[in-house]
Structure 1
């Protein structure tokens, strides 16, 4: 029997979705165990890398899924524990599942490329652009895709008493509007504002998380999602819809609110569903994504479709839309993991050959 691939599942990390990453990893590792020799690689909230044995011991210590955090006293940052990094030289392929900063933004992908390790998912550039909402929306617009009206405000240019900024928001965006950090996930630092009096406070909050902030029109629309799978020939999944009762789809709405509903497949006319699937593939290609990406859209009552963003490391929990949509498309969770590993290996071969 041929030797099985050693699959390193990298998870945890420093973002607000640390616990979600842990839950995703546990499900991925369980599903992959029949095909691969799974190597758990945990990263603590302070950025310290754990050895596989340390990681497994921490996973075994608690049965509380969304309260399980990886910890190691006194260890901070990537190079604080070089013995853990040697694990990268002992795996055949990596499956990154760290959300947000230092995981989904191209930094982890760059480390894996420096180490010569194949990995599932988007490359360095697509990952970095996918985390920067301002750059991402600019590229979407240049590709001919509709995006919700917005302006970008930089911390170095911001003045609390700027009447020019208030007028720019009112003329280009209007109210209500969302104020959000350009980089970040889990809806951290986001505010919904209804008037110019609320703008300054919302900007100050967002600037705590990034030097670049988007002020974006609040779209009165349905929230539609499409899972895309593939490298140079990406395929769209059936569509899903998110329904919730909150101002925006934040961490609590995603993972803790029992009233949030994931509807799959979404109730849409066939022509509209096909149109959104085509837009999903166009957006995926515009960013040069690879492996996987969840493309998010707004659909207004008058059938205008706005592309919102790509998530290059979508969740893989039981409450995550990406694997659910592919299951509706006839691809099981385990087969989805296998296909993503194959795509990562294929892309690595092309990169090395190039």
Structure 2
């Protein structure tokens, strides 16, 4: 508790001293910082922050809207539910840079073409929000995150929605997100099966750091480019991890082949139990969570909670109900397959579709 109080006191001393110096001058520079991706779940898609600096006044501060505390009580439940509070913080750029050096994540900077008045108003707005409850916000994956908060702060100062998504095409949010975990098969599989119908909508909203970086270079304000200059402040060292069989679709196919070829009752029960429990979890999350991205999750037709009922009758050797539930499950699986025909993640779930179909057909055709 004492540590938290000291941190809070330090922040207000820093903020008060910073505000008192009124550093906004013709020499003041304001830029957008884009941070590269990493393998941790909270860093798959990069990060966005604002930087205000003035070499003559010895000012160099980052405003970071991506702050959260892993020590928050019931952190995971709040994150899943969608009411986890994120917050904004201002601190020296050197600390910001050091933390991402340690994580080996690149830092890119885009110097903004703002008037003195716009710089002053942005500075005032940022500091006002940090000293009020506005510094806290409820995180939403697409609608409200570190990138959208920076966009909102700038658009208020620019007095219109100058910063919007310009590269709108036929891609969905799922299409846009798909490449970010290209070399992490099970992460990609997990992300795609937990998302529902919202991420299959056309991607018209600007919410990803690198998408913002690209769009800023195409943005004009009062007839002039909004970005004056692009810089690379730190280039991460590439760590070539190479191919991993155990984190690839081949390991999944191998495991499923074993289940199909051996055709053992115990293996089928374990397999369907795992799928059914995952489906049940997703069903509960869909009812419990405020995250719209996980609502109306059609992947539950693949990871079908009904499989748990099938497992129950398999354990009791009740062939009559095994056939009935197998047939219903096959119909649901067929509906899912048809629905998936135009989805980008069809290929990564196809081995599961085929395995489910083979086992269910065997159960349905089995003689009593």
Q: Does the pair score TM above 0.5?
A: no
Bigger RCO (CA 8 Å, 6+ sep): 1
Q: Which has the higher strand share?
A: 1
TM-score by length of 1: 0.26
Give the number of the structure whose alpha-carbon radius of gyration is greater: 2
